Structure 1
Amino acid sequence: MKKFGLLLVGLIALFVLLANVGPLISLAICLAILYFGFKQFMKSNSTGAKVAWGALCVIVLIVAVSHIPAILGLVAAYVLYLVYKKWNDSASTENDPFSNFEREWKDLNKNE
């Protein structure tokens, strides 16, 4: 039953992530442009260049903020990672041949 729940949550997270691939790519591009613009703003010496780079940064920041659905995509990617991690964690403890040995060894030591 636990595997079914993980599968269901994983599928929902996958569909949400796939639905938000476009905004995620667009947000990444906007953040790269914003980073480049900020670096150029800090390097420039003239007032006109600083105003131009600052205006570009503000415009790109406004565009980046409009990609709010990308945050849902990031949350879905994180949930998908957690589901993957839990899925492998439960599989490794169930199929570990040494876990039964350790449990039996503890039981034998209790009886002595």
Structure 2
Amino acid sequence: MAKKIGLFVAGAVALLVLLFHLGPLVGLAITLAVLYYAFKKWLKAPSTLGKVVWALIGCAALVASAWNVPALIALVAAYVLYVVYRKWNGVKDERIVPEADDPFVNFEKQWAELQKHY
């Protein structure tokens, strides 16, 4: 019971932090999208002037995204919410494959059987 209360409090705090930092998170997404677009255009620019213009736009977007430090707090809060959700529902780690379902273990067993017969 105490574990559920702790998870609830951690989730509530993380949700509030995420909601309060939603603006900088959207700003970070927009500036990173502009930076990506400017980089792609910089790679394809045929002239030196075009490369300089796209580089300046990319630098401005990079500086603007660096000023969105509160967005990193929002990302941490989103991760905490994800962890709380998984702990609350008791979700196990899917990356661990049981031995019976592991195709490599089954392959090794079948290969050993084939080696016996030949």
TM-score normalized by structure 1?
Answer: 0.79
1:23 offset after TM fit, Å? 0.3
Superposition pairs of residues 58-97 of structure 1, within 5 angstroms: 58-89=59-90
1:31 offset after TM fit, Å? 0.5
Corresponding residue number in structure 1 for 2:6: 5
Return the letter of the residue paired with 1:64: S
Corresponding residue number in structure 1 for 2:31: 30
Distance in 2 between residues matched to 1:13 and 1:48, nearest whole Å:
46
Corresponding residue number in structure 1 for 2:18: 17
Any runs of at least 4 consecutive aligned residues in structure 1 with deviations exceeding 4 A, and if so which? none
Distance in 2 between residues matched to 1:40 and 1:51, nearest whole Å:
11
1:45 offset after TM fit, Å? 1.4
Distance in 2 between residues matched to 1:24 and 1:60, nearest whole Å:
15
Distance in 2 between residues matched to 1:63 and 1:25, nearest whole Å:
12
1:54 offset after TM fit, Å? 0.2
TM-score normalized by structure 2?
Answer: 0.75
Return the letter of the residue paired with 1:34: L
Unmatched segments (≥5 aa) in structure 2:
93-118
Unmatched segments (≥5 aa) in structure 1:
93-112
Corresponding residue number in structure 2 for 1:57: 58
Corresponding residue number in structure 1 for 2:43: 42
Return the letter of the residue paired with 1:80: L
Alignment length (residue pairs): 91
> Percent of aligned positions with the same letter in both sequences?
48
Q: Which has the higher helix share?
A: 1
C-alpha deviations, 1:58-99, integer Å up to 9, x for none? 011000000000000000000000000000008x9xxxxxxx
1:51 offset after TM fit, Å? 0.4
The CA RMSD over aligned residues, in Å, is 1.3
